[in-house]
Amino acid sequence: MELGEEIIHIVPLGHEIDRAVKPFAKYKANKVYLLAVTETFGKYKKEMIDKQKHYLNAVRTKLQSQGIICEHRNIDMFDMLEVTKHISDIITQEKTKNNRIYINISSAGRLTAVAATLTAMAHKVRAYYVSADRYSENAQEQKDHGLSYCEKLRLQFLENIPIQLPTKNEMTLLVKLCTKQEGMNTSELLKHLADQKIPGYEECVNISVPGRVPRKAKINYLMKLNKGILNKLETAGYISRERSGKYNMIRITPSGIYIAHVSGKLPVTKAS
């Protein structure tokens, strides 16, 4: 561990205790992010949420007793995009501090595990899986240990498969299109690149103002946008383009929405 570097674990949490806590009997952590659903979001039963709060409090208490800082994020854990967005946000923030990041993919449900694994690989951080000795056999064991009973630590780190994310310029537009799913035309996209101070597009801040950008320059910017960014995003299946009047309308696809959520640049709501 480098000087000043901290060890950060991200633990998406379902009805588990042992699988969330057991790794820290051997592996150090300065801080753990606990991701769990602790409100109904208008669609889940209060009984389920109360049960989840028990597991969250049990895990948090055990980790804090070891001197580990815990931060809870209240997330709809049944929404894969929300899980992806929050994990990516945490990774992005912690990477700016040069911290080392790990993700537990075994302490929640299967859908969450998929989201956590893909996000870990996209950001090139380590994901790990904690194997259980057996499942809890009665209500008391479930209350004390969670769905899984882990007597000995058996932890496996996953090998990262390289996932090529879009470039900074491409991701800038994908994130914007994700927030404007009705679509945007090319002039609006050029202006957004200028607003984000993307090098080479500064003059496009006035692209929609008649006479402010010479026609030849505007054509050059449109060619640069199409060849340098939009063609690549369309080939990857992240956007679609269609003619709407005199404009080309660009919309994000379901695949593009997922990639935008992996970016770590979408705003998140942080609630305890």
How does pLDDT run across 168-209, given as a tens digit for each residue? 999 999 999 999 999 999 999 999 999 999 999 998 998 888
Q: Is the per-residue pLDDT at 1 higher than 90? A: no
In the chain, CATH 1.10.10.10 sits at 168-262
Domain 7-157 is in which class?
alpha beta
Region 126-142: mean pLDDT is 96
For the domain covering 168-262, report its CATH number: 1.10.10.10
Provide φ and ψ at 244, rounded to 5°: -135, 95
> Which tens digits make up the pLDDT trace of 90-102?
999 999 999 999 9
Q: Is the per-residue pLDDT at 21 higher than 70? A: yes
Residue with tokens 């320059």: 217
State the Cα–Cα distance between residues 252 and 179, nearest whole angstrom. Answer: 9
State the Cα–Cα distance between residues 176 and 234, nearest whole angstrom. Answer: 15
In the chain, CATH 3.40.50.10770 sits at 7-157
State the Cα–Cα distance between residues 167 and 234, nearest whole angstrom. Answer: 14
In which band, very low, low, confident or very high, does the pLDDT at 3 lie, cut at 50, 70 and 90? low
State the Cα–Cα distance between residues 18 and 251, nearest whole angstrom. Answer: 44
Helix locations, 96-185, DSSP H: 110-123, 139-145, 168-179
Q: Is the per-residue pLDDT at 271 higher than 60? A: no
